[in-house]
Amino acid sequence: MNNSLSQSEFYILLSLAIQSRHGYEIMKQVEQDSGRKVLLGPGTLYGSIKRMLESHLIEEVAGDNPRRKYYTLTEKGRKSFSAELNRYNEAVELAKRKDLFRELGIAKLTF
């Protein structure tokens, strides 16, 4: 897939990669997964969800509370998320081969 995901979309797909969730759960999971670097307000969250539904990256599914909308990854969403993880991994591997972490003074990372 040629289109890279926005930061919000990446973290939303990450939150849904393990299990279906409703909006508030997604918001909290994104906050936790990003170490509070990505804080989604309702407008950003539901705007992203709307675009991702239209792009068929996610779909609505039944959940344990009929008053809430639950979302899960589609096959297209899994492929898109996988491609993005692959892209990130390739970039990190390239940076390691070029010793850029040391060159840029970035703290030593463990992989």
Structural domains present in the chain: 7-103 (1.10.10.10)
In whole angstroms, give the CA distance from residue 9 to residue 3: 12
Q: What is the mean pLDDT of residues 32-57?
A: 96
CA angle 101, 36, 5 (to 5 degrees): 70
Summarised one tens digit per residue, pLDDT across range 1-34 is: 457 899 999 999 999 999 999 999 999 999 999 9
Lowest mean pLDDT among 53-57, 66-70, 73-77: 66-70
pTM: 0.86
